[in-house]
A and B are shown apart, each in its own frame.
Chain A
């Protein structure tokens, strides 16, 4: 071990950070958690029914599509890209999956098999679209903003065409159950309690005492989130994602297969959006081309609030989940305190900008101070 004193050590550029810098560094890491907590406490105190099992489940159900679209987006943005096609790809996937399920089901295929076929078709189409995004971005060097915007319009058109400008309904009950039933049930009041994997046999007035805990889309999303955390933070694939976003040229020279990687990222992004579309079709018993229209910007907001830098190279999966939770808590909370939800957009807009400012403050004040020493 070479001690700092005798070795011709490099100048002490990494000298102790000042308290102010440390505060900013810590603040930039945890402000979103604190903000979320603050919202939860405020709405629990002020809102009717906010702090309840049922509402906690509502919030989880509400973030499913935002988180799913945000996950792939997190990877893409960390690698320095952006994917604007996920909104309408979600709609296209919901239409295709619902179409396949309806046709197969009507042709006498068992519901579970039809649902699996629908899942494969919905996600498969999204993956194909992601492949197109990725190849054009990586190989033809068209800016991702343009490519994915273009694919988004194509998906939008095809979605409406396939659905003949309508909604694809006629789904089997099993699909609806998958979208709405849950892993656990909790029945309040006397004779109630927890039920695992089995819907309690309650009827009438007692039904209103029953809460669904962790509906299947929530469970599936939870698993996908875990997988995404693992991939981004524990594997070579994740490491390369950061490297490409940090310095594409360096990654290239280090032998990272950059083009192939970028293509895979856009496929992931489209794939998670496709999954969101398939689960939309389950939940609402139908596929709609415009299913994701209102969600794209929400998902990007969640990613940015979660601390993913739009300049690439930075961010974490859990941040995106927190970002989505903030959006959902805001929305439900405002309804609980009976304030117009339009304020949600004002608040979201402000925190999106604050989030980016926070990032830049950190890089400017902490980063530069250290680099310049």
Chain B
């Protein structure tokens, strides 16, 4: 009996329709930030967000998903919507297809969307598959892939076998990097692309996969690690095999770990993205939209800093290293 009573109470508590009117809006927008996963890249982005929020005198709600998965990111997104007090959501969608439907619900609830680092659909918010976000602010990842490939080609003297360590399928950012990379490699007849593996954003898995590939391809000359975790795993595998210098690595994301690898000649070149800029700009865009600015660009690429052993201590470059307090 007691249990039934409790059941009824719980059901009521969960189901009573509370027609809370949307609270009177003051003149400042409230922002929700939802990165893809907890890692140094997004933590630096959060620094940019927080700085901008402070500069504009706004409020922000931030939650980091513990793993890269739509089933982890979506419940957080839906709770952001249910809060009822957010005007903008700055999000790095963890899947370009699967996150469309959940984000459309945010739109319906009157929340505007800015995507950072990753985009929805084909990323063309003017005429593409998905046009509802205000803007995509991130790296030109295809170009980033090309830069990485050219760096490898140069380091290898235009010939050799190369491999890509990727993170997750269906993610616009890393997909673009792989596309750009392969495009350039294909232009060199003596360069051979020997494959790509997905580590699902887990550095341990990345290390295992790269170790196996090193076994399979004794002549492997170069590896492209497409993000924090893939690069970290690739570096560890190459170090474990005692092949630093013999196998060239180029990687995305200037983490401290990557810098150490750069200093120790495990990694040849690191493409530092500008997550701080992405975060800051996204908030600035939100503020601008709030103030009625209508000509915001649909796509903003924040560019790269190319870090090498030679320039990594130069303050001009060192400021792009991901420093998380």
Contacts and interface: CB of A to CB of B under 8 A. Distances in A.
Interface string A38-80: 0011001001111111111011111001000000000000000
A153 to B, nearest CB: 13
Contact of A335 (B63, B67, B111): B63
A58 B83 CA distance: 11
B15 A56 contact: yes
A34 B83 contact: no
Interface stretch (B74-82, B179-187, B206-214, B290-298): B74-82
A258 interface: no
Given A165-B169, A167-B95, A284-B95, A294 B72 contact: yes
A342 B66 contact: yes
Contacts of B200: 290, 293
B109 A207 contact: yes
Which 4 pairs, one residue from A and one from B, show the smallest C-beta to C-beta distance?
A208-B110, A284-B98, A167-B170, A55-B82
A295 B17 CA distance: 29
Contacts of A51: 13, 18
B71 A49 contact: no
Given A213-B17, A336-B79, 9 more contacts: A26-B2, A30-B3, A47-B83, A55-B79, A60-B14, A293-B67, A336-B82, A340-B63, A341-B66
A41 B12 CA distance: 12
A292 interface: yes
A270 interface: no
B208 to A, nearest CB: 14
Contacts of B20: 49, 52
How many interface residues does chain B have, given as a range? 35 or more
Chain A interface helix/strand/loop/mixed: helix
Interface in A184-216: 186, 188-189, 192, 205, 207-211, 213
Contact-residue size bin, chain A (C-beta under 8 Å from the other chain):
35 or more
Nearest to A282: B101
Among B18, B22, B168, B200, the most chain A Cβ lie within 10 Å of the Cβ of B18
Interface-central residue, B61, B74, B79, by most chain A CB under 10 Å: B79
Contacts of B16: 53, 56
B312 interface: no
Contacts of B65: 341
Interface in A152-168: 160, 163, 165-167
B97 A33 contact: no
Interface of B: 2-3, 6-7, 9-10, 13-22, 61, 63-67, 69-72, 74-76, 78-85, 95, 97-102, 105, 108-111, 168-170, 198, 200
A288 interface: yes
Nearest to B102: A284
A302 B31 CA distance: 32
A119 interface: no
A293 B198 CA distance: 15
Contacts of B198: 160, 165
A29 B3 contact: yes
A139 B83 CA distance: 52
14 contacts: A30-B2, A47-B83, A49-B20, A52-B84, A53-B19, A54-B109, A60-B14, A165-B198, A209-B22, A280-B71, A288-B170, A332-B78, A335-B63, A335-B76
A369 to B, nearest CB: 23
Interface of A: 26, 29-30, 33-34, 36-37, 40-41, 44, 47-56, 58-62, 65, 160, 163, 165-167, 169, 176, 179-180, 186, 188-189, 192, 205, 207-211, 213, 280, 283-286, 288, 290-295, 318, 322, 325, 328, 331-332, 335-336, 338, 340-342, 345
Contacts of A169: 97-98
Given A284-B95, A284-B102, A335-B76, A59 B14 contact: yes
Given A284-B95, A286-B95, A335 B80 contact: yes
A53 B170 CA distance: 33
A341 B71 CA distance: 14
Contacts of A286: 95, 97-98, 170
A77 to B, nearest CB: 21
B95 A207 contact: no
B70 A291 contact: yes
B21 to A, nearest CB: 7
A341 B67 contact: no
